[in-house]
Structure 1
Amino acid sequence: MTPNWTPLDDELTLWAEAGLRLPLWWRDDDAIAPTPALSRLDKMAANLGMPVHLAVIPARAEGGLADALTPRLVPVVHGWTHDNHAPGGEKKAEFGRHRPLVPMRAEAEAGLGRMTGLFGTDLVPMFVPPWNRIDPALLPSLAALGYRWLSTFTPRATAEAAPGLTCINTHFDPIDWKGHRGLADPDKLIAQVARQLGDRRRGLADSAEPYGILTHHLVHDAAIWAFCDRLLTRLLSGPAFVMPSLKGPTS
C-alpha cells in the first residue's frame, strides 16, 4: 500500500506560506562495529547531505569502528553497556531512578573516557541514555564530567537539562517496537509528523529545538530504510534545513 503523504504535504505548505524554517537533525542508536547496515546508513546520509549523530555503546564498541566512520557519522556516547538495570515490570533503563547515583556517574565518566580514546576530537560530548530514560538527579553530574548535550525522546521541557547541559531530543521513531518491530503504520507515522510540525507552527511546542529523527540502523528492514529516506527527502525539500553536526564543547 502506498502511504498517503497528503497530511504532511499540506502542513509543509502551511510552513512555506508562513515563511517558517525547520531545524532538522538525525540520531542513530546502538552502533558498536562496522557493518553493512552502517555503510548503508552512511550512504543514505551522503545522498541526503545530512550528518548522523551516531550513538555508540562505549563498553561494546570495537576499535575498528573509529576507522570506519566518515565525517557524516558523528559519534556520541550511548550510555555505558546498554544493559537494563530496571526491576522486573518496570520500563527498561540503564541510568534510571532505581540505581544509586555514584555508580551511574562512574559509568557516564567511563563512557566519555572510552569514547574519547576511540574517537578523539571527533567525539561530540553528548550523552544518550539507553531507552531514552535517565534519572534527573544525574544531570548536573553529566555537565560536571564534561558532557555538553543530552538527548532523549519527545519534545524537551526546557532548553537546558541542567546548567551547562543543552537538551536536544529526538521526536520521531519509525519502528513499531511494541509490535512486530518493523515499520509502524506509515499513514500513522505521516500523521504524527504533520501533527508535531503543526504544534510548532502554532507555537504549542518549542520551535527552536531541532526536530530529531531517531533510527536504529542495525534493525532496519527495506521498508524502514525506504520510509526514512522519503520522509527526510520531503522535509529537506520543504522548510527543513540541516542542523550542523555538534563539535566540541559549547562556550
Structure 2
Amino acid sequence: MIPDWTPLDRELELWQQEGLILPLWWRDDDAVAPTPELDRLSDLSERIGLPVHLAVIPQPADIELAGYLQPRPHLIPVVHGWAHRNHAPAGEKKAEFRLHRPLEAILADAEAGLARLTALFGPALRPIFVPPWNRIAPEVVARLPELGFRVLSTATPRTARLAVPGLEQVNTHLDPIDWRGTRGLTNPEILVARLASLLQQRREGWADNAEPFGLLTHHLVHDQDIWNFTGALIRRLMAGPVRVWTAPADRT
C-alpha cells in the first residue's frame, strides 16, 4: 500500500515557510546479536544518513554484537533495561522497572545493564536508559542519574526537558507497528495523519520542539510493509527541514 503523504508534505511546507527545524532521532529496540535483520537496519540507516540508537538488552547481549557495531558508528548502543523480563503480575501491563519488586533490586539491574554494555561497547555506549515496554516507576527514574545515566527515553511527547535533575527526557513519538492488532504495519494513512498532527502541535507551540522527535522501530519483527514504510518515511523527513540528533557520550 502506497500512503498518501499529502498531510505530511503540507505540514513540512509550513515548517519551511516559518523557518522551523525539526530535531530528529531514531531508536530501535531489542537488539541482542548480529542478525540479517540488523544488517538490513544498518544498511538502511547508512544509506539514508540517519543514525540508529540501538537499544541493546544487556543480559542476553552477545559479545559478537560489539565486534559488529565497532565499524558501524551509525549504530549507537544504548541500555535497554536488563533482561527485558516482565515482573508485573497477571492482569497488569508488562514492566521490568516498575515497583513489582524491591527498589534496590531494580536499581541493581539498571546498574548491571550499564556496566555490562560499557564493558562490551566502551565509549561507543551512550548513557541512555530505555525501560522495556517504555514503563518505569518515578522512584526508579529519580535514582538513574546516580547510576551514571544522563538520558531517559520512553514514549509520547515529554512534559518537561528534565525527568529529574541531571536526567534529560528524550522520547519516541511514532511507532509504525500495530502491536495490539495485526502486529504488522499500522494503517499508513493513520500513521501519516498522526505524524502530521504531532508536527503541527510542535509548530503551533503546544508541544516541545526542543525535544528530538523520535521514530521507534523493532528490526527483529519487521515485515516487508514495515521496512518499506519506515524507509519511505525517513527519506521524506530527511528531505525536509530537519536536524539529526544523536545522544552525547558525556556522562559527567
The TM-score by the shorter chain falls in which range? over 0.9
Give distance in 1, aligned partners of 2:195 and 2:242.
13
| RMSD value, Cα | 0.9
TM-score of the superposed pair, with normalisation by structure 2:
0.97
Number of the residue aligned with 2:185: 183
Deviations 1:108-134 (CA, angstroms, capped at 9, x unpaired): 011011011101111101100000000
Q: Bigger CA drift: 94-103 or 189-198?
A: 94-103
- Who is 1:50 aligned against? 50
Rounded to whole Å, the distance in 2 between the matches of 1:246 and 1:226 is 30
Match in the other structure for 2:21: 21
Structure 1 segments unaligned to the other structure (5+ residues): none
CA offsets per residue over residues 124-157 of structure 1, 9 Å max, x none? Answer: 0110000000001111211001011100000111
Code of the residue aligned with 2:186 in structure 1: it is A
Q: Return the offset for 1:50.
A: 1.3
**Structure 2 portions without partners, runs of 5+:** none
SS of structure 2 residue aligned to 1:65 = helix
Distance apart, 1:2 and its partner CA: 2.2
Mapped to 2, the partners of 1:135 and 1:245 lie a distance apart of 23
- The one-letter code matched in structure 1 to 2:149 is Y
Which aligned runs of 4 or more in structure 1 are off by greater than 3 angstroms?
Answer: none
CA contact (8 A) 1:79 1:94 kept: yes
C-alpha separation in 1, matches of 2:75 and 2:159: 28
Aligned residues: 250
Q: Which residue of 2 aligns with 1:11?
A: 11
Whether the aligned pair in 2 keeps the contact of 1:51 and 1:245 (CA below 8 Å) is: no
Q: 2:120 aligns with which of 112, 118, 121?
A: 118
Displacement of 1:101 after TM fit? 0.9
- SS of aligned partner of 2:195: helix
Structure 1 residue aligned with 2:136: 134
Q: How far apart are 1:245 and its partner, in Å?
A: 4.1
**What is the distance in 2 between the residues matched to 1:245 and 1:229?**
22
- Structure-to-structure mapping, 1:1-251, within 5 angstroms: 1-69=1-69, 70-249=72-251
Task: Please give the per-residue CA displacement for 1:68-90, whole angstroms capped at 9, x wherever unaligned.
Answer: 01101000000000000111111
Task: Kindly state the Cα deviation for residue 98 of structure 1 after the two structures are TM-superposed.
Answer: 2.8
In 2, the alpha carbon distance for the partners of 1:131 and 1:28 equals: 13
Q: Percent identity over the alignment? A: 58
Question: Which letter does structure 1 place at the counterpart of 2:178?
Answer: D
Distance 1:50 1:245 in 2: 13
SS at match of 2:160: coil
